[in-house]
Structure 1
């Protein structure tokens, strides 16, 4: 299959071609591998080659909804039996999985052909993808800029046309930030929608798994594949009224949409992001929705402090568990500087401090839920600025926290509330870099987001907005 033809199809369309025997799964895989060989040296999106495994999977007949479609796993949070999951860290460069995670098992049952793993910052701790282990990923829209993080390898691979969709995860914005940076559609599901079995939930339930895609319908159909609760899951949501894929094209009705040009975790948004929010609000109003400017309730400063406590404690617990397994403690030279600082902080925290932090997070979630008594959707910028240059975050460590939150300004709050949130590629910067707009719905209302996303996709299509790489 010619790459030009491959790129014109989303995952759903490729699966249809395979089902109708107009193309074989082997042809699709070889096309994806050829594209990877051509562009991955420039973008450093794929850090593990699983092509031999993928060719072996072609012999397994599947009738799943994505039978024969090439796919990539993020090198964090998902285990594929027999392969290494590094989490972007030298500390886990030899960590081989004994069994599939529930989400990976679901992908394989659906017929997806996994042929590689994508780059991620160490333990997913940054909104850029520049791990010491593998080096930086680069944005196909401009190779001098970041594709975001922590699912930056995934976003770069999709934007570069290697695959039309890839696995991703989101603990503080790690689906939505790279979606924004690379002009993709990215939805973080509600807490409890996608199981983390058997590894367990991350960051006190703030972390979720799903995907980055070029089309809305692929995102919805992939969520249908993986939203199967597992025995013993600590969080649970009622199943959707109908498959999410059937929400695409349905009338969202007249929605009450609140919007804000605020930056939740830093002093202010970049003016280009402010304009993007106002343009998106005007677009929603033109589609018949009731759009009103509003403010997000809750103590954002307290939330940021509490989230930092939970993340630091989680990093410490992860490294301490690995140290116990291997029988010797970690040294400072085994992880990156910022990870080590987080680890040291986590070791100094007390159990009461952790419990208090979780209580602050829950209180914030209750405060924000009150906003959705009056509104159906909240609209705001996904990021605080367009994607910065590679190396910008760490070039001056004294500015690390300020720069971190000036870019990842508006996403972490909704990891902590657990609400579903999506980044929609509706704007571009003066430099030609993508700017995503974030839409947030009440807990469990992914269907509402999909209906709105389908409407936005029709009103302002982005599928043919192709990165110049």
Structure 2
């Protein structure tokens, strides 16, 4: 097995190679650090690469591996390298939130997600790039290099988890954590040919900082396989003391669901999201392909989709309020985020928007009284070029963003789980993704069906040519 083949192996397989003592945590960590040094200047997927900390942890884990007699006692991802999105805190590393003024903001604590990842045995390579405050579906924060798509670096890797998606797609780490407040895991996964899961509201803790946007955002996994994503979801899930809301554990581990066969389900599908533009042909074709495959599995397909039109205005109001909640001085913000902050209105406006969003969400969730799953695009068109919208006014940018990411935010507002799967490529060599949305708190069904789809899909485009050497 050469170094490229090793770098692109699923994280679960790497964990098994470590348990088998075929490779050590130190060797694997050095492999990914070497790839970061070689390729990341072209991609901009990491804000911070913590070389010394990663190597020190890898050496400790290598010694532990040598001295452990019962390898079954090791945590599930023992010795596997990963990255943490730079909206999350890792002790001893900066957390910038994509704000250049915070490049030296080194924190002394791990947040809840980081603690769970460390507890699962991961080695943290560094902090992956995010858009400023996670506000954008592309990752080009002022003061940082833009994050580029490994499949075609003229194009974006998406956002706000664009760094995590680019790193996994380029084989700079085998799996990564992201977060999704309006498509920020699902969009980058689709842009980069990955599996991305936005869990149900309450599945993953926001500890210790809590939730200040009415639960629209959740951490979630980015991976190259459904099994890896499911296993990382198992790791990240669960109540942490003081959480304001939470879900009970699933009946079985999410990873176990990847080995199950789903019974026939009633599945709705759509290609378009009124009142926005229709999905472009290559996106529509990907959804059609996914629907066709689901039909061959015995599922019952019916065209349909809940209306999201009434949800647009209150969701934007809640999203705008997040900029002000960050507590940063105006001078530290990009023009677009400053404009969002100015548009946010009063606390009363925010609470009114939350109430309206919750009322409309009830109608959307009621759609799933009649269907088990919904299949639809991730974004309505393929990735934009890096810098394509850089010279637009804030008002023009907002319109562009709405028309691109329209299939995603409604399910953040409703707290419904969703998963993105790759489903082909376009003429620019960029992956195309499809999105599946499930019933409340029912990631298990999503994962069962996604794993079945994965097994029958053409997944030959796993390694971008740019990094395939």
TM-score scaled by structure 1?
Answer: 0.94
Provide the rounded CA distance (Å) in 1 between the counterparts of 2:169 and 2:260. 27
1:356 Cα offset (Å): 1.2
1:462 Cα offset (Å): 2.2
Equivalences, count:
454
The residue aligned with 1:327 is none
- Partner of 2:148, secondary structure, is coil
- Partner of 1:47, secondary structure, is strand
Alignment match of 2:83 (pick from 72, 93, 107): 72
Q: Does 1:301 find its partner at 2:309?
A: yes
- Greater displacement, 352-361 / 148-157: 352-361
Change (3 A) 1:295 1:115: closer
Change (3 A) 1:12 1:423: same
**RMSD after superposition:** 1.5
The residue aligned with 1:313 is 321
Q: Does 1:412 find its partner at 2:409?
A: yes
- Greater displacement, 228-237 / 174-183: 228-237
CA contact (8 A) 1:215 1:463 kept: no
Map of 1:282-361 to 2, 5 A cutoff? 282-297=292-307, 300-319=308-327, 322=328, 330-331=329-330, 333-346=331-344, 349-361=345-357
CA contact (8 A) 2:158 2:188 kept: yes
Change (3 A) 1:264 1:183: farther
Provide the rounded CA distance (Å) in 2 between the counterparts of 1:342 and 1:211. 28
1:461 Cα offset (Å): 4.3
CA contact (8 A) 2:150 2:166 kept: yes
Provide the rounded CA distance (Å) in 1 between the counterparts of 2:133 and 2:274. 24
Map of 1:424-435 to 2, 5 A cutoff? 424-435=421-432
Cα deviation code 1:14-59 (max 9, x no counterpart): 0000011010000000100111111101111111011111122121
Change (3 A) 1:360 1:243: same
Provide the rounded CA distance (Å) in 1 between the counterparts of 2:397 and 2:323. 18
Structure 2: 5+ residue runs without aligned partners?
66-73
Cα deviation code 1:369-400 (max 9, x no counterpart): 11111110000000010111111122322531
The residue aligned with 2:127 is 117
Provide the rounded CA distance (Å) in 1 between the counterparts of 2:51 and 2:128. 13
Cα deviation code 1:243-276 (max 9, x no counterpart): 1111112011101110011125623221221222
Provide the rounded CA distance (Å) in 2 between the counterparts of 1:266 and 1:17. 47
The residue aligned with 1:399 is 396
Map of 1:141-156 to 2, 5 A cutoff? 141-156=151-166
Map of 1:363-378 to 2, 5 A cutoff? 363-378=359-374
Q: Does 1:17 find its partner at 2:5?
A: no
The residue aligned with 2:146 is 136
Provide the rounded CA distance (Å) in 1 between the counterparts of 2:421 and 2:234. 20
Provide the rounded CA distance (Å) in 2 between the counterparts of 1:20 and 1:240. 30
Map of 1:146-185 to 2, 5 A cutoff? 146-185=156-195
CA contact (8 A) 1:91 1:335 kept: no
CA contact (8 A) 1:393 1:404 kept: no
- Partner of 2:383, secondary structure, is coil
The residue aligned with 2:29 is 29
- Partner of 2:363, secondary structure, is helix
Cα deviation code 1:270-304 (max 9, x no counterpart): 1221222122111111121101101313xx33311
Runs of 4+ in 1 over 3 A off after TM superposition: none
Provide the rounded CA distance (Å) in 2 between the counterparts of 1:202 and 1:381. 28
Structure 1: 5+ residue runs without aligned partners?
323-329
Alignment match of 2:433 (pick from 429, 436, 444): 436
CA contact (8 A) 1:10 1:215 kept: yes
Provide the rounded CA distance (Å) in 2 between the counterparts of 1:214 and 1:253. 25
1:202 Cα offset (Å): 4.2
Provide the rounded CA distance (Å) in 2 between the counterparts of 1:57 and 1:66. 14
Provide the rounded CA distance (Å) in 2 between the counterparts of 1:453 and 1:177. 17
Q: Does 1:382 find its partner at 2:392?
A: no
The residue aligned with 1:423 is 420
The residue aligned with 1:326 is none
Cα deviation code 1:424-444 (max 9, x no counterpart): 101222322111100000111
Provide the rounded CA distance (Å) in 2 between the counterparts of 1:49 and 1:264. 42
Change (3 A) 1:264 1:172: farther
The residue aligned with 2:70 is none
- Partner of 2:190, secondary structure, is helix
Provide the rounded CA distance (Å) in 2 between the counterparts of 1:18 and 1:265. 51
CA contact (8 A) 2:7 2:31 kept: no
1:106 Cα offset (Å): 0.8
Cα deviation code 1:80-101 (max 9, x no counterpart): 1122110101243232222111
